[in-house]
Structure 1
Amino acid sequence: MGTADNTWGAREFGPRDWTNARWRRRGTRWTAFEIVAMVLGFIVFWPIGLAVLGYKYWQGRSGGPDLQSFVSDKWQGARTMMSENSTSQTSFWNCGSAMKRASRFYQPATGNMAFDEWRAAELARLDEERRKLDDAQREFSEYVEELRRAKDREEFERFMAERRAKGSSGSANGGGQPS
Structure 2
Amino acid sequence: MTDTLTATGPVHEARGWFSKAEAWLDDRGKGAWIAAMVLGFILFWPIGLALLAYMIWSKRMFNSSCSQRRKAHGLGQSTSRSSGNAAFDAYKADTLNRLEREQDAFEAFLQRLRDAKDKAEFDQFMDDRARTTRPAAESSEA
TM-score (normalised: structure 1): 0.40
Q: Which has the larger radius of gyration?
A: 1
Which structure is higher in helix share?
2
TM-score (normalised: structure 2): 0.49
